[in-house]
Copies of this chain bind each other. A is one copy, B any other.
Amino acid sequence: MSELYPAEVLINSATGAVSPATGRYAKHLSELGGIFSNADAWSRTIREENDPLIYEVLEYKQEGSDLFFGTTTMQPGKIGDEFYMTRGHFHEDRTKGEVYNTLSGQGLLLLEDRQGRSSTIEMREGSSAFIPPDWAHRSINCGPAPLVFTWFCSVAAGHDYGQILQQGMRKLVIERNGEIEVVANPKFD
């Protein structure tokens, strides 16, 4: 095991900047094929808006630790009537949950278990979400500004994107007549 050491990590609640960060990845719209219902709007937006950044993940991890944490910063926007969202995933290790803490912006956390039960949790400043083990989770930015949240997780959790990428989740979060609505995903009819 490598040598672990105490560290201060600064987190900017408006930008999601993590300092120091040990890892980063970003997802642009072209990398999120298949997760939005409206494929025409998806390809048109990639073309017209030059493949916009949808979200960025920054993390702080020390090799050999049991826990790690970081931020996700989601840009505002829609593809058709669906809000920008993350891919959504289960954890590979089904015994590992996660905690989110929203720093700024507003959104919805959409959850779903293996039995197909759905749940949503509001994301807003000062609200934390307890994500139980074996519940898939997807974050959705429903507001006009970036949605920034911290997450705390076991390093052993891992990601299982497969099921959600293939089938989607059972609920969609859309804007209709200026209202945020959680509706059934017609793919599951």
Contacts and interface: CB of A to CB of B under 8 A. Distances in A.
Judged by DSSP, the binding face of A is: strand
Interface residues on A, range: 35 or more
Contact of A128 (B4, B10, B66, B135): B10
A96 B132 CA distance: 19
B62 A132 contact: yes
A9 B122 CA distance: 10
A98 interface: yes
Interface string A54-73: 00000010101111010000
B98 A67 contact: yes
B99 A69 contact: yes
A188 interface: no
A25 interface: no
A131 interface: yes
Given A60-B130, A152-B99, A6 B67 contact: no
Copies per complex of this chain:
2
A119 interface: yes
Interface string A121-153: 110001111111101000000000000001011
B101 A132 contact: no
20 contacts: A5-B132, A6-B119, A6-B121, A6-B129, A6-B135, A8-B128, A9-B128, A9-B130, A10-B126, A11-B101, A11-B127, A11-B128, A12-B126, A60-B130, A62-B132, A64-B133, A67-B96, A67-B152, A67-B153, A69-B152
